[in-house]
Amino acid sequence: MPPNTTASSGQKPGKSGRKKGRRARLLVIVLVVALVGGFGYGGYWSVSTLRASFPQTKGSLTLEGLSGPVQVKRDGYGIPQIYASSDEDLFMAQGYVQAQDRFYEMDVRRHMTSGRLSEMFGKSQVKNDEFLRTLGWDRVARKEYDTKLSAATKKYLQAYAKGVNAYLKGKDGKNISLEYAALALTNDYRPAAWTPVDSVSWLKAMAWDLRGNMQEEIDRSLMTSRLGPKQIADLYPEYPYGRNKPIVQEGQYNALAKAFEQTGATGTQSTTGTSASTSGTSTSGTGASGTSTSGASTSGTTSGGSASSGLQSQLASLSEALDHVPTAVGVNGNGIGSNSWVVAGSHTITGKPLLANDPHLSASLPSVWYQMGLHCTTLSRSCQYDVTGYTFAGMPGVVIGHNQNIAWGMTNSGVDVTDLYLEKLSGDGYLYDGKVKPFTTRTETIKVAGGDSKKIVVRETNNGPLLSDRDDELVKVGKKAAVDTAAPDRGDGYAMALRWTALDPGTSMDAVFDIDKASDWDGFRAAARSFDVPSQNLIYADTKGNIGYQLPGKIPTRASGVEGSIPAPGWDPKYRWTGYIPKSELPYEYNPKRGYIVTANQAVVDKDKYPYTLTTDWGYGARSQRITDLIESKIKGGGKISTDDMRQMQLDNSSEIAKLLVPKLLKIDVSDKQVREAQKLLEGWDYTQDADSAAAAYFNAVWRNILKLAFGNKLPKELRVKGQCLWVEPADTTGPADADQKVRECGQRDADQAQPDGGDRWFEVVRSIVDDEKNDWWQTPKTRTDKAATTRDELFARALKDARWELTAKLGKDLDTWSWGRLHRLFLKNQTLGADGPGIIQYMLNRGPWKLDGGEATVNATGWNAAGGYGAVWVPSMRMVVNLDDLDKSKWINLSGASGHAYSAHYTDQTDKWAQGELLPWRFSKGAVDKSTTDTLELKP
């Protein structure tokens, strides 16, 4: 953003100040570009090029297709509030305005969801396109649009597309976005017209980001090359129901539970917890202590989750393919979380509910969210919306926010809506129930900018598309795959198919519009019934004082004993889905006696009181319980909760794992003076992870080294950080290997995807063994500089030492200069050219760094991957607090800004405040909006 100190402080910038700041920044960039004229940019770009795409925000414009005038009012942060007299005009204007600010982002998204990135970026994206074409998101979206969505929804989607295309009319690339000007140097790509299906497809991308336990299925199977079933079970402990409360405690599921207990029925699924121990039988390889486990490879379970080298290769390749799905859809489900909670008026200062939400997604520039208000000038049958909140650029409606009567928030439920299936191929078909069935096939043509088109054949079984066709390694299934004796002959190997609810046409787009106009709890629940995917925890509050929770979604049921926690044998009908949980039996809660509801990716229900298995891979509840404790402490202290209390809770930095480990770390006798100096940082530390805290920096380094020594070095290469190399015993060793028999294995995962990531699952892993001081996991082999560790305290001592020297290398010898924020930084990168473009382009498009508070599995969840480093990987993508007593006193913030234009004043004008934990006023009533308006644009028919 321009170096305008007034704008940076969040105050309303003066007109001349904005112009001068923007002009100064533009001139600097033009000078830089001129200096690199050898690259061909200098003679091409000018100040006018950089400004050409800025939106018109004042005066008037004519839009063909409007039935009446529309006003677009923007505040000092460029956030638009749209006023229209009909639904179609409202959504047409939404399309126009979002295209003004974010069309390049919208265009990239639709190319990603349709597997057409190669058309924009050339051959580097062919592999991504092959994978995305195989998933077929755009085909499913087309079916939804043609066969599932209501007539009203289609009408709104058409109006939105009309608005986008009205913006595109007569413009070439450089008049739309700076990125198109850059693409034009190597590519003659021109944006095509927007379609309604382009909007529907984006919900598939979000469903992929929030798809559940698919990565856990892969990881558990990959672990079997080095770990036995007991060790894998250690790394996937049971959810701590006795310590971390589930979401629903007084709601609908209790009625089901009563019938469940009376009949002794098991429902259509197993109700047990995570079953990592069924991942396969004990296999040869490296045990938890780093020594070889006994015995040769033995047969696995009927699920095919065995420890074969071929299966490892297959799963590793699949995992890599998942990791490379474009970052526009986040960090691919790993570690993703969110916070949302609602407090009833009996516990608030206002006497009406307060609702907070902060979804955690990978950091992107611009932010995945776009703030906006959609207002009918007069509510009527022809104009039904008065709603404000967070939208997706490229999709009509409001996804999270409030209208004049209700407010709602969302967090990822984590329910298991995906299964991977091993498939036995035979000629042009696959084996199922003893017979060979033909594939369903289609041919896809991938157009490549600057190159020849490529054709691929997508094959599908009755379980779904064959993802294994998208990687050479996946075509060849392992020759040593161990399965049960009833399994079909492996031949050339097994393929792998994906069953996923989002690959069936659904009605989630209907749900968005119905929630936007819902006026009470019954209307909200009715709207939620259409929310097929992604399944989200929906929280609710209304101006009459009610609060509630609903779990929506199309959630599969499985046969008794089948849990969906590992890849299943596709040839066996027993492993097919048996149906879906009836919508009427999905958990909900309404006005619970305790007066609040917290959702933060923890278990939805107690597993022993609900007849269906929702998943075996919940988040472990560190954040949710901390939020619950903060609310309870306020209530029990006799206090009432304010809007600012809700904001402060969102910023809570307390480290739950530090509370557990620091007392033990301080008891370690450290002889090295400099290590002891670092250890003393932990004395008196309050466990909060502020950006300026040296203690937080040191503890997190110690935690990272504990994880590496106890677990990370014992995981297979497919889960470790790419380039991290270790000398290990070969996986097929049948006895202890001599030193000269060890082999060098290097990690294969990207740093932000590797394990152990340090999240709250790892909190539970360590908690479960921390008092067992001689547990095998605490054993580590000797190195050239360290003796072998055989106990917990010996390993902790080594972690204290390693952390000291790691931070000395990163931050210097002087502990007074250490701080968590120097390690834990956020860089915002343009999702395409900002990541892979020439250096000067990256300089122009990217921003940062920001030093952050917070950490992994804290309420202020600025997540980092402990295996890969300390940088922020996912963050609260926005924060909001809705005041149901006076909606104009609600607060909100976005990660970046309203604009996707790199030199707009609104590119990152909210980020400084976001990083400091501040919120902006969120105006809703017309009078409040008018007072905050700085620019008004009239759109005329």
pLDDT value of position 497: 92
Q: Nearest-5° angle of CA 96, CA 99, CA 100?
A: 85
pLDDT value of position 16: 44
Alpha carbon 196 to chain centroid distance? 25
Q: pTM for this structure?
A: 0.89
User: What is the C-alpha to C-alpha distance for residues 403 and 397, in angstroms, rounded to an integer?
Assistant: 12
Residue 467, C-beta contacts closer than 8 angstroms, at least 6 positions apart: 131, 134, 318, 321, 474, 496, 497, 498
Coil/strand/helix, residue 285: strand
Bond before 366 cis per omega within 30 degrees: yes
Residue 778, C-beta contacts closer than 8 angstroms, at least 6 positions apart: 710, 769, 789, 790, 791, 792, 794, 795
- The mean pLDDT values, 10 residues at a time, for the chain of 941 residues are 35 43 42 39 56 90 96 98 98 98 95 93 90 93 97 98 97 89 83 96 78 76 86 95 94 53 42 33 37 32 42 64 53 64 98 97 92 97 97 97 98 90 90 96 95 96 92 37 62 83 95 98 97 93 98 93 81 94 95 97 91 91 97 95 98 97 97 97 98 98 98 93 85 50 86 92 97 96 90 98 98 97 96 78 92 96 95 95 98 98 96 98 98 98 95
pLDDT value of position 214: 75
Parallel, antiparallel or unpaired: strands 292-293 and 494-500: unpaired
Amino acid at 364: S
User: What is the C-alpha to C-alpha distance for residues 799 and 804, in angstroms, rounded to an integer?
Assistant: 8
User: What is the C-alpha to C-alpha distance for residues 691 and 694, in angstroms, rounded to an integer?
Assistant: 9
pLDDT value of position 206: 78
pLDDT value of position 53: 84
pLDDT value of position 494: 81
User: What is the C-alpha to C-alpha distance for residues 415 and 554, in angstroms, rounded to an integer?
Assistant: 10
Tokens standing for residue 3: 């170096």
Tokens standing for residue 842: 């990256």
Residue 779, C-beta contacts closer than 8 angstroms, at least 6 positions apart: 288, 289, 290, 788, 789, 790, 795
pLDDT value of position 833: 81
Residue 105, C-beta contacts closer than 8 angstroms, at least 6 positions apart: 366, 393, 394, 831, 900
pLDDT value of position 518: 98
Strand-pairing partners, residue 409, are 539
User: What is the C-alpha to C-alpha distance for residues 433 and 606, in angstroms, rounded to an integer?
Assistant: 35
Q: What is the DSSP letter of 144?
A: I
Tokens standing for residue 433: 């129930």
User: What is the C-alpha to C-alpha distance for residues 25 and 303, in angstroms, rounded to an integer?
Assistant: 60
User: What is the C-alpha to C-alpha distance for residues 267 and 56, in angstroms, rounded to an integer?
Assistant: 59
pLDDT value of position 266: 38
pLDDT value of position 471: 63
User: What is the C-alpha to C-alpha distance for residues 219 and 510, in angstroms, rounded to an integer?
Assistant: 35
